[in-house]
Structure 1
Amino acid sequence: MNLPDPSALAERAHSALARCGAEWPTGNLTARTPITGTEIRTLEQHSADDVNGAVAAAHDAFGDWRTVPAPIRGAVVRQLGRLLSEHKTDLAELVTLEAGKISSEALGEVQEMIDICEFAVGLSRQLYGRTMPSERPGHRLMETWHPIGVVGVISAFNFPVAVWSWNTAIALVCGDTVVWKPSETTPLTALACHTLLRRALADCDAPRGVHQLVIGGRDVGAALVDNPQVALVSATGSVRMGREVAPRVAARFGRSLLELGGNNGAVVTPSADLDLAVRGIVFSAAGTAGQRCTSLRRLIVHESIADELVARISAAYAQLQVGNPFDDGVLVGPLINDAAFEAMQSALTAAQSSGGTVVCGGERVGDTGCYVRPALVRMPKQSEIMHTETFAPILYVVTYNEFDDAIALHNAVPQGLSSSIFTLDQREAERFLAADGSDCGIANVNIGTSGAEIGGAFGGEKDTGGGRESGSDAWKAYMRRATNTINYSDQLPLAQGVEFG
C-alpha cells in the first residue's frame, strides 16, 4: 500500500488551514491523521473555565441576535454557504486528513454543509406559527416561535463538519447562538469552519460572539453540558455518551437533542432486484470504513436467496480497494485509530464464538495506519454481538422464512436509527413503512441505510436518542413556542363557560 510521507500530510493540512484564514495557538492537543497514524500539528485546548467564558459570550450576544429579523439572520447563513463553496476543496482535504474519508465522501460532506445553508436561508422566511379558532367570541388564538438561547453542539469524528452545520445553520436563523465542541480527533476541520463562519458574521456586521469554538476532551464537553446558560445541548456520539449527557441536562431542566447509536438493518426479500441490492448494501456497509452512524451492520435475507446474495457481496468486497483515501480508485480508507480495529477484532471473535462464520474480510492491510478489509459474517441466528454496534465495517447476515420474522429480527435490537428493505413487492414495502414495520426514525425502500438528504429530518428512536436534526420541521427543537390569546372585543368571557363575578 502506497502511503504519503507524514510530513507531506502535515503540510497539506497547514496549507488548507491557511487558505481558510485559520490561526490557532499551538498547545498540548495533538491532531493526528489516520492515513498514517502520525501527528499533523498541535493546538491549544480549552479548560472548563474557558468553556464557561465562551458560553457567557454567546449568551451576551444572544441578547442582540434574537432581535435581528430572521431573514437578516439568514443572510449570514447565505454568506457562510458562499464561503463554504469557495473553500470546498480545502475543507474536504481537511476532512480526509483528519477523518480518513475518501475524497468523494469528503467533498460530499462539505456539499452537505452548503445544502443545509441553502435550506436554512429559505427557512428564515418560514418560521411559521398557527392561528387557531377561539371558543370565546371576539378572541383569537395564535402561536409564535422565539429563539431558545445558547445551543451547545457536541459533534463526533465521523462527520466532523456536516453535523455541526445541520445544527448551526438552523440555530442561527432561529435566532440562537452556538458554542461548538468538536471531537478532539478532528479539531482542524472545526477550526477551519469556525474561521469561515466568523468571517461570514463580520461580512454581515453581525456580532462575533454569535459563534464560539471550544476544543478539548471530556472535561470540556462536561462543562458545556452542565452550564445552565446552555438552553439546548445537541450531542452526537455513542449511547454511553448519551446516557451521561441526557440526565445531566435534564437535571437543570435544559433540553437535549441526541443522535446516538445506529446498528442498522436491511431486509432483502425474494422479489428484490439483487443487482440493485448489492450496490446499496456494499456502499452502506463498507463506505466510510463502516464508521457512519447509518452504516449497514445487519442483513436479514430470505433463506431462498441468502447463498446467492452472500456470494455476490463477497465478490464485490473482493474488488474494494483499501488504502490511501487521497488515491483514485480507493473506496475504503482507514479506521480512525487502533482502538477501532481492536473493537472490530473483538466483535468478530464474539461472532465466531456464537457460531458465526467469517465469509471474508476482517484482516488488517499494511503496517502503517489502521486499514482493514470489510468483513462479511454469516450468523446462524441474531446473537448478542449483533445487538451491539461496532463502529467498523462488519456486516452480519442472518436468514428468515416468514416476513413477520424478518420484521421481528430487524426491530429486536436496542437501536433505531436507519433501516431499509429491498423488495419489488408493494405490500412488503408498505408494511415495512407502516406502524408495525420498521421501528427506526429512517426507513428506506430499495436504497441502503446511509446517505440521508438534508430535506428530511434526521434521527432515530430507542437508544438512538429520539432527536431530529436537519430538514423538515427539525427547526422547532431550536425554538420555544408561545401560545397567545388576543381579545379584540370589549367583553371578557372566560374559557369553558366559567363565570366569576
Structure 2
Amino acid sequence: MPAAIPTVKDEALAILKGLGVADSAYAASGLDARSPITGETVAVLREDDRASTAAAIGRADEAFKVWRSVPAPRRGELVRLLGEELRAAKADLGRLVTIEAGKITSEGLGEVQEMIDICDFAVGLSRQLYGLTIATERPDHRMMETWHPLGVCGVISAFNFPVAVWSWNAALAFVCGDSVVWKPSEKTPLTALAVAAIFNRAAKRFGEVPAGLLEVIVGGREAGEALVEDARVPIVSATGSTAMGRKVGPKLAERFARAILELGGNNAAIVAPTADLDLALRGIAFAAMGTAGQRCTTLRRLFVHDSVYDALVPRLAKVYATVSIGDPRTAGTLVGPLIDKAAFDGMEKALAEVTALGATVHGGGRREIGGADAWYAAPALVEMPSQAGPMLHETFAPILYVVRYTDFDDALALHNAVGAGLSSSIFTLDLREAERFVSVAGSDCGIANVNIGPSGAEIGGAFGGEKETGGGREAGSDAWKAYMRRATNTINYGTTLPLAQGVTFDVDASAEKLRPTHPIVI
C-alpha cells in the first residue's frame, strides 16, 4: 500500500490566512470545502441564499454606477495592480488550486499564470476600446459607434479551472467598466475567496475602488439561480456542463440578458498518414490525460489512419500504462485525483458500456491512493470498433476513445458528428489536409489546431465553441465586446436636415405645422 498522504487541511488554511481571507468566511455549518487529494473537509464556509445573493448584486449595481464613469485607462490601472498581486501570490494561489481542484503543481501554477496573462492583456485593452467612424450618405453629418459599460457581470465558474475562467471574464469586465458578481463552483470555493482577498489588496493600492465592485457568493443552486434571474445582472458568463447551460440559457433569454456559455466539449483529433508520430504522441498524451481528463478541452476522441494505427496506438498504450498517478503535490506526478466519487462512477459506467460494445480497454480502474474518500483513477485508452455509445457524449474523466479510419472525409464526418463543438486538432504534414481541416468545410469547432492538441489554449485568442458548447467567447481577440453595449451615433453639424434613404418630411416652422412635400394618397 502507498504511504499515507499528509493532511492538506492545515496547509490550505495557512495559505488562506496568509492571503488575507477573513475569519468571517467560515461558519459552524454551511458549505463543506473539501480537497480531492484526500477527500477531507478543509473548511466549512458560510453559504449564501437568495437574500444575501440579492444584497450582493445590489452592492455590485451601486458600484457599477460609480465605476462606469472612471476613465478606461484608469480602470486598467486596477487590473495592472491585480496582475502584480497575482504575481506575488502565484506560489500560494497555485498551491491552493492544487489542493482544492487536484491539479498537479505545474498546472496549478499555470492556471495562476493565465490570470496574470489576461490581466496584462486587459491593461492594454483599456486603451483600445475602439469604436468606428462610419461613412454616412448625408452631407454635413458624422456617424460613429461608441462602446459603453454594460452593468453587473455575473460569473459562474466550474471546478476544473477554479480561478482562471473568472479572470478571463473579470479582467475584461473591469476595464470595460462593469462590476462583477462571482459564484464559484461549490466544489472549489476556497480559491475564489483567496482571489477576492488578492483583489482587495490591489483595490487598497488603487485607492478609489467602489465597495461591491467584486462580490463573491458562496453556495449551490439556490445562489446560482438568484444570480441568473436577477434583472440587475445584464450579462452572465456560465461555465459548466451542457445540461447546466440548457437551464441557464433560457432563464437569461426570458429577461433578454446576455449569456456567455462555455459548456461541454467532446473534443477530437485526427492523426493523418503523414503525421509526425513523436509529436503526435506527446500532444495526445497531455491533451487526453492532463488535469485527469477534467478539462473542457480534454482530448476524448482520436481518429487514426489505418496506415499509422499500429505504429502509434501501441506506443500510446505504453504511455498510459506507465504514467505516474498520485498526490498532485508530489514532484513527478502527472495525473492527480478526480474531483469526487460521482466523477469516478461516471468513468466506470462509460467503460462498462463500451466494453459491452466490443471495445478493448487499456487501463482504467481505481487506484488506492489518498484514503477511502479520494478518487484516483488510471487513465483509460479505449480501442473502439466504431464511434458509438458513450463516445458520442462527454464523460468528464480521463478516457480516450480511438477509432481507425481510411478516408479523410469519413474521419472529418466522424469528428463533427457529436453535439459539442469546442476544440479540435489534426496531426498532419499534408498542407491540403491541414487547410481543409481549418476551412469552412472542416472542423466545426470554435478552436481548430494543426500539429498541436486541442487542450491548452492561450488567452490571446477568443476562447469558446459552437453547437452544444454554447457559442460563448471569453478572453482574447474582441471578446471584450460582450461586456459592453454598443451605441451608433449620428451627428448633424450642418444647417439642413436631410433624411436617410431619400425620405422627405418637411415642417413649416413658421406655422408649426407639418407640410407634406408630396400629395397624400388615401
Q: TM-score, normalised by structure 1?
A: 0.98
Partner of 1:401: 406
Residue identity in the other structure for 1:364:
R
Please tell me whether the aligned partners of residues 26 and 43 of structure 2 are also in contact (alpha carbons under 8 angstroms): no
Are 2:203 and 1:201 aligned? yes
The residue type paired with residue 407 of structure 2 is E
- The CA distance in 2 between the partners of 1:305 and 1:382, in whole Å, is 19
Structure 2 CA distance for aligned equivalents of residues 250 and 30 of structure 1: 32
| Distance in 2 (alpha carbons) for counterparts of 1:116 and 1:3 | 38
- Please point out which of 142, 145, 148 is paired with 2:144: 142
Name the CA distance, whole Å, in 2 between partners of 1:3 and 1:164: 34
Q: Aligned to 1:392, which of 397, 413, 437?
A: 397
Counterpart Cα distance in 2 of 1:75 and 1:2: 48
Name the aligned partner's letter for residue 14 of structure 1. Answer: L
1:101 counterpart (96, 100, 103): 103
CA deviation after TM superposition for structure 1 residue 481, in Å = 0.3
Q: 2:315 aligns to what?
A: 312
CA distance in 1, matches of 2:454, 2:229: 34
Q: How does 1:237-256 map to 2 (within 5 A)?
A: 237-256=240-259
SS at match of 1:444: strand
- 2:226 counterpart (223, 226, 235): 223
Letter in 1 for 2:316: I
Q: Secondary structure at the match of 2:412?
A: helix
Contact (CA 8 Å) 1:2, 1:323: kept in 2 or not?
A: no
1:323 Cα offset (Å): 0.2
In the alignment, the residues of structure 2 paired with residue 131 and residue 120 of structure 1 have an alpha-carbon distance, to the nearest angstrom, of: 23
Question: How much has 1:429 moved relative to structure 2?
Answer: 0.3
Does residue 480 of structure 1 match 2:469? no
Deviation track 1:430-481 (CA, whole Å, cap 9, x = no partner) reads 0000000000000000001100000000000000000000000000000000
- In the alignment, does 2:325 pair up with 1:327? no
Number of the residue aligned with 1:2? 3
**Equivalent residue, structure 1, for 2:175:** 173
- Runs of 4+ in structure 1 deviating by more than 3 angstroms, as ranges, are none
Among 475, 480, 484, the alignment partner of 1:470 is 475
Does structure 1 retain, via aligned residues, the 8 Å contact 2:101–2:160?
yes
Q: Displacement of 1:4 after TM fit?
A: 2.2
| CA offsets 1:107-151 (integer angstroms, 9 cap, x no match) | 000000000000000000000000011000111110000011000
Aligned counterparts of 1:93 and 1:141: Cα–Cα separation in 2: 52
**Corresponding residue pairs, total:** 498
Deviations 1:278-326 (A, max 9, x none): 0000000000000000000000111111122110111111221000001
Aligned to 2:117: 115
Q: Give the whole-Å Cα distance in 2 for the aligned partners of 1:28 and 1:18.
A: 19
- In percent, how many aligned pairs have the same letter? 61
| Contact 1:145–1:479 (8 Å) recurs in 2 | yes
The answer for the alignment partner of 1:18 in structure 2 is 17
Aligned to 1:475, the other structure's residue is in SS state: helix
* Residue of 339, 353, 356 corresponding to 2:356: 353
DSSP 3-state at the match of 2:26: coil
Is the deviation greater in 468-477 or in 383-392?
A: 383-392
Q: Which residue of 2 aligns with 1:30?
A: 32
Once residues 389 and 89 of structure 2 are traced to their aligned partners in structure 1, the CA distance between those partners, rounded to angstroms, is: 45
1:63-102 equivalences in 2 (<5 Å): 63-102=65-104
How far the C-alpha of 1:199 sits from its partner, in A, is 2.2
Query: Over aligned residues, Cα RMSD in angstroms?
Result: 0.8
Q: Partner letter of residue 203 of structure 1?
A: R
**Matched position secondary structure for 1:168:** helix
- Choose 274-283 or 28-37, whichever is displaced more: 28-37
- Going from structure 1 to structure 2, the CA distance change for 1:108 and 1:397 (only over 3 Å counts) comes to same
Paired residue secondary structure (2:212): helix
CA contact (8 A) 1:2 1:324 kept: no
Choose which of 25, 44, 47 in structure 2 pairs with 1:45: 47
**2-structure distance, mates of 1:351, 1:156:** 28
411-420 or 311-320, which deviates more: 311-320
Q: Write the distance in 1 (CA, Å) between the matches of 2:212 and 2:380.
A: 47
Q: Report the Cα offset of residue 162 of structure 1.
A: 0.2
Partner of 2:303: 300
Tell me how far 1:5 sits from its aligned partner.
2.6
Q: Give the TM-score, by structure 2 length.
A: 0.95
The DSSP-based 3-state class of the residue aligned with 1:230 is coil
CA contact (8 A) 2:156 2:183 kept: yes
Q: Indicate conservation of the 8 Å contact 1:3/1:36, yes or no.
A: no
SS of 2:235's partner is: strand
Question: Which amino acid counterpart does residue 10 of structure 2 have in structure 1?
Answer: E
Q: Which of these residues, 358, 362, 365, is aligned with residue 363 of structure 1? A: 365
- Determine if contact 2:152/2:181 at 8 Å carries over to the other structure: yes
CA distance in 2, matches of 1:181, 1:473: 24
Indicate the residue corresponding to 1:61 in structure 2.
Answer: 63
Shift of 1:332: 0.2
Work out whether residues 80 and 200 of structure 1, in 8 Å CA contact, stay in contact via their aligned partners in 2: yes
Contact 2:59 2:211 in 1 (8 A): no
Mean alpha-carbon deviation: is it higher for 22-31 or for 122-131?
A: 22-31
Paired position in structure 2 for 1:214: 217
Matched, 1:189 2:187: no
Partner of 2:445: 440
1:145-196 residue CA offsets vs partner (Å, 9 max, x unmatched): 0011000000000000000000000000000000000001111100000111
- The answer on whether the counterparts of 1:201 and 1:207 sit within 8 Å (CA) in structure 2 is no
Following the alignment from structure 2 to structure 1, what is the Cα–Cα distance between the partners of residues 83 and 505?
57
Question: Which deviates more from structure 2 when the two are superposed, residues 434-443 or residues 10-19?
Answer: 10-19
Shift of 1:488: 1.0
Matched, 1:236 2:235: no
Letter in 2 for 1:498: V
Could you tell me which of 401, 424, 448 is aligned with 1:419?
A: 424
> Which sections of structure 2, spanning at least 5 residues, go unmatched?
507-522
Q: 1:263 maps to what in 2? A: 266
Paired with 1:64 and 1:157, the residues of 2 have a C-alpha distance of 32
Change (3 A) 1:452 1:3: farther
Query: Which amino acid is 2:234 matched to?
Result: A
Distance 1:151 1:160 in 2: 17
Q: CA deviation at 1:3?
A: 4.0
CA distance in 2, matches of 1:187, 1:314: 36
The amino acid across from 1:191 in the alignment is L
Q: Secondary structure at the match of 1:209?
A: coil
Alpha-carbon distance between aligned partners in 1 of 2:448 and 2:382, rounded to the nearest angstrom: 24
Any idea what SS the aligned residue of 1:208 has?
A: coil
CA distance in 2, matches of 1:182, 1:3: 30
Give the structure 2 partner of residue 274 of structure 1.
277
Tell me how far apart the structure 2 counterparts of residues 174 and 333 of structure 1 sit (CA, whole Å): 37
> Take 1:2 and 1:427, find their aligned partners in 2: how far apart are those partners?
53
Aligned equivalents of 1:112 and 1:214: distance in 2? Answer: 23
